[in-house]
Amino acid sequence: MEAVVKGDRSAFERLYEAYATRVFQYVRTLVGDPDLAEEVVTDTMLAVWRGASTFAYTSRLSTWMFGIARHKALDAMRRRGKRQRETPLDDVAMELPHPGEPPIEGIHRRQVADRTRRALAVLSPEHQEILRLVFYEDLPYDEIAMLLGIPTNTVKTRVYYAKQRLREYLERSGQKGSTS
């Protein structure tokens, strides 16, 4: 990040490569529309380039970038007049086979991913966002609280209730699974 602050374009390219996909997945969780998410990622990364010197090193770089992305996504949705997401939590991962993975394991992995997507789709937008940040981005609760502008206990509560809703959905649909 220090090199980006100094205007090093190759450092920014490496930063972009390291974070663009994660930012896209997070933004798509917020906006639903992949085209709009691409626009927001571009706006976000431009803001990161221009505002690199404002990064205060008080949180993870990813938390700072997700904060920028969140604001850009909310602005973009306001401009488009969107009040609600069009799709649930994004495609969690590309369903490409892993090298050396036996075919039966690949099928099982895809089935689990499909069940997970269906289960996550029943959650509210707030719960989907919280789970993305906690489980996929691995951000600590205090940084999520700072990012979302809510108390840390609210983050904990949302995670608890999101996991509870997932468990209820899986039980109703006859699927066993751990949400802890």
The pLDDT of residue 177 is above 80: no
Q: Domain 103-172 has what CATH class?
A: mainly alpha
* Span(s) in the chain for CATH 1.10.10.10: 103-172
Q: Which of 95, 90, 157, 155 shows the shortest CA–CA distance to 117?
A: 90
The pLDDT of residue 123 is above 90: no
State how far the Cα of 154 lies from the Cα of 143, in Å rounded to an integer. Answer: 12
Answer whether 0.75 is exceeded by the pTM: no
What does the pLDDT read at residue 84? 46
Give, as one character, the DSSP assignment of residue 132: I
Q: Domain 2-80 has what CATH class?
A: mainly alpha
State how far the Cα of 121 lies from the Cα of 148, in Å rounded to an integer. Answer: 21
* Span(s) in the chain for CATH 1.10.1740.10: 2-80
**Does residue 120 or residue 22 have the better pLDDT?**
22
Main-chain dihedrals φ then ψ at residue 176, nearest 5 degrees: -90, 140
